[in-house]
Amino acid sequence: MKRDDEPKLWVTVLKLVVGLTILIGGVGLALNYAEKHQEEMPKPQPKSNWGIFSDSPIRR
């Protein structure tokens, strides 16, 4: 006698695929929402007298 209490394999796979689709879609929508509502930070003005950028490798 075989028990039919367990669902078929394709039903389980279908449920997993639907669950993953909802999970990935939800995360994607949340990231998209956060990106649209994020305030853009102003870039700081570079200082010309800082670091090795303005230093000459040749001494005068």
59 pLDDT higher than 80: no
pTM across the whole model: 0.56
> pLDDT tens-digit profile of 5-53?
888 999 999 999 999 999 999 999 999 999 998 887 787 776 655 566 6
DSSP per residue, 1-58: -----SPPHHHHHHHHHHHHHHHHHHHHHHHHHHHHTPPPPPPPPPPTTSSTTS--SS
| pLDDT score at 44 | 76
| pLDDT score at 18 | 98
